[in-house]
Amino acid sequence: MNTPAPSLGSTASSSVILPLITLAVGLLTAIAIYTPGLSGPFFFDDIFNIQNNLHLRLTELNASALKLAAFSTNTGPFQRPVSMSSFALNYYFFGEGPASFKAVNLGIHLISGVLIFLLARLLLRLAAQRADLAVIRDRVTLTAALIAALWLVHPINLTSVLYVVQRMASLSALFILLALLTYTTGRLRFPKHRFQGALWFAVTALFWLCSLASKENALLLPWYIFLIEWLFFYPLQPRPTLGTRLYTFAWLIVPLISGLIYFAFHPGMFDYYGRTFTLTERLLTEIRALWFYVGLILLPRPAALGIFHDDFAISTGLLTPWTTLPAILGWLLAIGLALRFHRQYPLLAFGILFFLAGHALESSIFPLEIMHEHRNYLAGSGILFGGITTLVLMDSPHPYFQPRIRFLLTGVFFIFFSAITFGRASQWQDLTRLILSQVHHHPESASSNYEAGRLYIALREQSQDWLQKDQFNTEAVQYFAKTAALAPYATAPLAILLANAGNANPTDPVMIQEARDRLRHQHPVDSAINNLLTLSRCERQRNCSLPEGLVDSLFQALLTNPRTEGELRATLFDELALRAMHTGRFAEAETLFKQVLAINATKAMFRINYVMLLMQLGRLDEAREHLDRIRAAPQPAAITQLAETLKQHIEEGPKQDASEPKASSNTTGFLLQKLTQPKDSKSLFDFNHNPSQIDQ
């Protein structure tokens, strides 16, 4: 680690104004092209994780409320508390409108663009200290500005900005960039100023912790550091010592060994039960997916871009599809050339290897979905770094490929990228355009078809024309039917039952049997659970006409599934208890509620539902005891308010407002129903996705 600290001062011939103008143009253009999409709604995973997450709705700023918000999801092993806290603070300071959340995401994106400029400039200056690369010194700052500008407007980064929940990816990337900047700065100071270097390293560790708490792919930071050490610091030493070699390669080897030890004790991380592909199939498919990403980065195509890519063909063998083997050979060749010629072409080698390192978690062995564009938010900057530095800094004797021509070519790419991003952002301002465009370009995507079905259900609910309602319902059922054909889960069959029941259409016996079979045998995905619970609530509130016993049979089918356990089992028992209470079967309801609390005694709504039963039965002392337990623990403001209201009602006794209609036979039951009605009128047919794991 005794690398001498090279002088990184600007040369006399280097220009400062042009690079700053280039970076400013990139920042201002990014603001302009993203502005149309800021007015768009929450979408897909945003609904459950942000819009409907009561823990984020802070009414006062204190440590207890922030802690609840920070750990309000079970996403990933670390629960991503920094990202979730940022959503809560967003709500507290700017309200619940999606525009403010997207504007903050855009701010994070702009800051990250500046950090990419600073990091690229620092690395290029390091490279320029080598005698064989000294010729690039006068173009370092401008090249760094071009890399940042192109990254800022690149269309593959759009979902990390306008898809609010993907702040997890962009925030993690921001802290990784800060960590790389502070580490590299510390390394430059450490040989001569050890105390200053140590302080910079301490700041690096802090940024790394923040990145890990934003999203788990921050675990890749040591490999990024290895690439900087190996390709930029290591060549500056004429005779690297053994200590230098050990230090450099420890960044590569130690995290790998640590990860293998961790995974040996956590085999559940490789559970592919809920996926339609195996570990081998995923690895083969991801190799092709990486080339697909490279194609989107170098030459983005609007029809190929999208929110969902579950229509990407799975590789079941080396020649199925036939592109699998060439993709493997292509990456072996690319890696081999990067390793073989890393001394002659360190910038290109860094770009290729940085891209692959950035995909080492999400595009490898873990049972995540095959493909998402936001995985390239940081990794894709490696391809841009390698491509732009090769284009702008390489020597060429050809008169038609002189520096001015090459800089002009990057300007063409900048305009091209900006135009595509602006078009995509314009689609994001309108949910109908976004979903219909997605399903048009990805007709074999189960997720795209399902979202199109949800869209037509929403249109049906808004329409006042009965003929139009029927037409919208027919469209929705057709999209759900295609989803059912593409995906093996119970989500789509249940959606068809719910759509027809809400429109007073006959129940499809084929879909009933399909729903039962899938609930019994397939992995119980959260969207299917949500649809089943919605179907049950719809029947309880008498907004759906369903065959007697149908919903109960669906619940029983799911309860026989060996994967129905823990929190999921408690949720099902809770809804069954409410169904029993609704029909006056109080003894059965109490038995079910006790089973719920035996599984999970900490979830407040489980206990509140039990309190409602106790109030129905007149057992007010027991109800007070349960409410006191709820109020004693930190809770979201909405839960606390509900518990306080119930406690107040118990203490004051049932009262009947003269302006309200009389309750039938149970005033307490009437008031409880009133307390739990939503303030805003919402569609009962809410097919919200409730993910247990966000990539993802």
Q: Is the pLDDT of residue 425 over 60?
A: yes
Higher pLDDT, 669 or 533: 533
Residue at 145 is within a domain: yes
Q: Is the pLDDT of residue 465 over 50?
A: yes
Share of residues in the chain with pLDDT > 70 (%): 91
The whole-number pLDDT of residue 311 equals: 95
3-class SS letters over 336-371: HHHHHCCCCCHHHHHHHHHHHHHCCCCCCCCCCCCC
Q: Is the pLDDT of residue 405 over 90?
A: no
> Among 66-75, 399-408, 640-649, where is mean pLDDT lowest?
399-408
**Beta carbons of 498 and 536 less than 8 angstroms apart:** no
Residue at 499 is within a domain: no
Which residues, other chains included, contact 238 with Cβ-Cβ below 8 Å and sequence gap of 6+?
A: none
> Among 165-169, 549-553, 649-653, 673-677, where is mean pLDDT lowest?
673-677
Residue at 460 is within a domain: no
Number of folded domains that form the chain: 1
Q: Amino acid letter at 339?
A: L
Using left for φ > 0, alpha for ψ between -120 and 50, and beta otherwise, residue 522 falls in beta
The whole-number pLDDT of residue 655 equals: 52
Q: Is the pLDDT of residue 546 over 90?
A: no
Q: Looking at residues 189-212, what average pLDDT do you find?
A: 92
The whole-number pLDDT of residue 685 equals: 42
Q: What are the backbone dihedrals phi and psi of residue 378, each rounded to the nearest 5 degrees, phi first?
A: -95, -40
DSSP 317: B
Q: How far apart are CA 162 and CA 638, in angstroms?
A: 28
Residue at 78 is within a domain: yes
Residue at 188 is within a domain: yes
**Beta carbons of 266 and 240 less than 8 angstroms apart:** no
Q: Is the pLDDT of residue 690 over 90?
A: no
> Among 43-57, 107-121, 384-398, 432-446, where is mean pLDDT lowest?
384-398
Q: Amino acid letter at 4?
A: P
pTM over the 0.85 mark: yes
Beta partners for residue 320, in sequence order: 317
Residue owning tokens 């400029």: 117
From the list 480, 388, 492, 490, the residue with the least C-alpha distance to 142 is 388
From the list 458, 455, 460, 483, the residue with the least C-alpha distance to 471 is 460
Residue at 158 is within a domain: yes
Q: Is the pLDDT of residue 234 over 60?
A: yes
From the list 636, 617, 619, 530, the residue with the least C-alpha distance to 575 is 530
Q: Where are the alpha helices (DSSP H) in 359-507?
A: 376-393, 403-428, 431-441, 446-462, 466-486, 491-502
Q: Amino acid letter at 19?
A: P
Q: Looking at residues 286-291, what average pLDDT do you find?
A: 98
pLDDT in tens, 482-538: 999 999 999 999 999 999 998 888 888 999 999 999 999 999 998 999 999 999 998
From the list 100, 222, 96, 109, the residue with the least C-alpha distance to 166 is 109
Residue owning tokens 């939503």: 678
Q: Looking at residues 413-439, what average pLDDT do you find?
A: 95
The whole-number pLDDT of residue 529 equals: 94
| Domain encompassing residue 273 | 17-423
Residue at 390 is within a domain: yes
pLDDT in tens, 156-182: 999 999 999 999 999 999 999 999 999
- When mean pLDDT is compared over 14-28, 122-136, 208-222, 616-630, the highest value belongs to 208-222
Residue at 662 is within a domain: no
pLDDT in tens, 354-373: 999 999 999 999 999 999 99
